[in-house]
Amino acid sequence: MATTGVIMLLFLIVHMAGNLKIFFGPTDFNGYAHWLRTIGEPALHYSWYLWIQRVVLLGCLVAHVVSAIQLTHRDIHARPQRYRSKRPWRATFATNTMRYGGVIIALFVVWHILDLTVGAVNPRGEAGHPYQNVVADFQVWWIGLIYVVAMLALCLHIYHGFWSAAQTLGANNAARNVAFKTIATILALVITVGFLSVPVAVMTGLVS
Amino acid sequence: MNLTLRIWRQPNADAEGQMVTYQVADVSGDMSFLEMLDILNEDLILRGEEPVAFDHDCREGICGSCGMVINGQAHGPERTTACQLHMRHFADGDVIDIEPWRAGAFPVVKDLVVDRSAFDRIIQAGGYITAPTGTAPDAHAVPVPKPDADTAFENATCIGCGACVAACPNGSAMLFTSAKINHLNVLPQGQPERESRVLNMITTMDEAGFGGCTNTGECAAACPKGIPLASIAKMNREFLRATRKAGR
């Protein structure tokens, strides 16, 4: 879970940074989207790089979800008899909601691909015009809401997930603990604010 | 003070258990939690009822025998063992829930007593060092760097009570196992089995049916000896190292 999580986190950072191109206008943003398909040319053909990335990410996602299911299955079986008394939780909200947040994010990924990659559920859904598709999306209030909810779930997921990966991979120790928690907080906030800036900008009319 | 106790009663491993309510009167704040249970048991014996079975030995907080979940918390509200928990942390009229450790790997033997031999099997798998027999070597014959000695000692304070498993929402034994591995793996005396220790102890832990770690930190918060969560990260590092070496 840690390894695949870190790979997907790296992708999210790049994805978020790329999204900010929208603030430079339709020409820049659509040009950037086109450029993504030309990465690796002439060694790779048009949009081959994107397909390689999609395969890697899908592999990570499947491995991540399968590990999560195996872990949950194992954890449930490790305590067949529940406690009768209510246990006071000391762990953070983010830690306790990893599984639910993960489900929300997984459903969102399906929606997001149908919306802005395939264009099937997009109000405009015109290939080659991502800027216009994005703007059409967030002019519908409930689509904006889907994105906001998913990004908040992602924020909590990264906050616990990054530090947790440091624990799992053995990179953490007593001296580095505060540093890893701080980086986790910064990463979670930067990625969430970065992603949310796009729908918020469209909804407030900053990007149209 | 007068207390209402709701205690898990289960006559044997195969029987269905249930919470049974008891009243205890005139409890002094200076009593330990186990002494309070002693009062209850004396009363139960006088009334001709079966006393509540619970594990205990030293009653000094160093043997790791006692352990019960008090109001949903392993060893109760204070960060210590149940025997060192004093009744002054409770108030007159309180209702206190008392349950055994609950984990598939710790089956209930009777009432609050659970079978913790899964921990013994983990220790047998690697909680030892190879040492020559004969006369004891000089105490200073093997130099140990101070930071290593500190780490070893911090982890060696684990008394194996099982509170980490009881407190973990996943019933994971990672904190216990990591304490035992780190204790020996950082010392020069533990080097010959450094890789086999971590591989064998983790395999045995998994086979015992403990859950996996999701880094909730409940174990370290419940540990009466203060084994830090960082011990688990260190064990994971040792595991990766041993796996790499085993592959060669």
User: Is A170 within 8 Å of B216 when comparing Cβ atoms?
Assistant: no
Taking the CA of residue B81 and the nearest CA in chain A, the distance in Å comes to 17
B239 contact residues in A (CB cutoff 8 A): 170
User: In terms of domains, do B105 and B171 share one?
Assistant: no
Taking the CA of residue A160 and the nearest CA in chain B, the distance in Å comes to 9
Average pLDDT for residues A117-140, to the nearest whole number?
A: 90
A166 contact residues in B (CB cutoff 8 A): 233
User: In terms of domains, do B11 and B45 share one?
Assistant: yes
Please provide the average confidence, as pLDDT, over all residues in chain A: 94
User: In terms of domains, do B96 and B123 share one?
Assistant: no
User: In terms of domains, do B93 and B150 share one?
Assistant: no
A–B interface: beta-carbon pairs under 8 A: 107
Taking the CA of residue A18 and the nearest CA in chain B, the distance in Å comes to 32
Q: What is the CATH number of the domain that holds B150?
A: 1.10.1060.10
User: Is A169 within 8 Å of B236 when comparing Cβ atoms?
Assistant: yes
pLDDT at position A89 is 73
A77 contact residues in B (CB cutoff 8 A): 104, 209, 211
Q: Is B226 on the interface with A (CB under 8 A)?
A: no
pLDDT in tens, B22-66: 999 999 999 999 999 999 999 999 999 999 999 999 999 999 999
Which of these three, B84, B109, B134, is where a domain ends? B109
User: In terms of domains, do B45 and B157 share one?
Assistant: no
Total domain count, chain B: 2
User: In terms of domains, do B44 and B103 share one?
Assistant: yes
User: In terms of domains, do B38 and B102 share one?
Assistant: yes
pLDDT at position B162 is 97
pLDDT in single tens digits along all 248 residues of chain B: 999 999 999 999 999 999 999 999 999 999 999 999 999 999 999 999 999 999 999 999 999 999 999 999 999 999 999 999 999 999 999 999 999 999 999 999 999 999 999 999 999 999 999 888 888 888 888 899 999 999 999 999 999 999 999 999 999 999 999 999 999 999 999 999 999 999 999 999 999 999 999 999 999 999 999 999 999 999 999 999 999 988 76
Mutate to test the interface with B, among A1, A69, A70, A79 (most CBs of B within 10 A): A79
User: In terms of domains, do B105 and B121 share one?
Assistant: no
Alpha-helical (H) ranges within chain B are 33-46, 117-124, 146-156, 163-167, 174-185, 194-207, 218-222, 230-247
Question: Would you put residue B138 in left (φ > 0), alpha (ψ -120 to 50) or beta?
Answer: beta
Residue of chain B with shortest Cα separation from A91: B216
Q: What is the CATH number of the domain that holds B77?
A: 3.10.20.30
What is each CA distance from B143 to B133, B147, B186, in whole angstroms?
20, 12, 12
What is each CA distance from B34 to A179, B76, B95, in whole angstroms?
42, 12, 16
A75 contact residues in B (CB cutoff 8 A): 169-172, 211-212, 214
pLDDT in tens, A163-188: 999 999 999 998 999 999 999 999 99
Of B211, B221, B230, the CB nearest to A90: B221
- By the 8 A CB rule, do B74 and A55 touch? no
**What are the two backbone dihedrals, phi and then psi, of residue B23, each rounded to the nearest 5 degrees?**
-110, 135
User: In terms of domains, do B199 and B134 share one?
Assistant: yes
Domain hosting B131: range is 117-247
A169 contact residues in B (CB cutoff 8 A): 236, 240
Average pLDDT for residues A82-86, to the nearest whole number?
A: 89
User: Is A79 within 8 Å of B228 when comparing Cβ atoms?
Assistant: no
pLDDT in tens, A22-63: 999 999 999 999 999 999 889 999 999 999 999 999 999 999
Taking the CA of residue B180 and the nearest CA in chain A, the distance in Å comes to 17
User: In terms of domains, do B103 and B161 share one?
Assistant: no
User: In terms of domains, do B85 and B173 share one?
Assistant: no
What letter would DSSP give residue A114? I
Which of these three, B109, B125, B141, is where a domain ends? B109
Q: CA–CA separation, B27 vs A31, rounded Å?
A: 78
Of A71, A90, A163, the CB nearest to B212: A71
Which of these three, B51, B83, B109, is where a domain ends? B109
Q: CA–CA separation, B204 vs B121, rounded Å?
A: 7
User: Is A77 within 8 Å of B209 when comparing Cβ atoms?
Assistant: yes
Please state, for a pLDDT cut of 90, what percent of chain A lies above it.
86
Please state, for a pLDDT cut of 70, what percent of chain A lies above it.
100
Q: pLDDT band at residue A3, thresholds of 50, 70 and 90? A: very high
**What are the two backbone dihedrals, phi and then psi, of residue B196, each rounded to the nearest 5 degrees?**
-65, -30
User: Is A95 within 8 Å of B19 when comparing Cβ atoms?
Assistant: no
User: In terms of domains, do B181 and B160 share one?
Assistant: yes
Q: CA–CA separation, A80 vs A9, rounded Å?
A: 34
Q: CA–CA separation, A116 vs A29, rounded Å?
A: 14
Q: Is B177 on the interface with A (CB under 8 A)?
A: no
CB atoms within 10 A of CB B245: 11
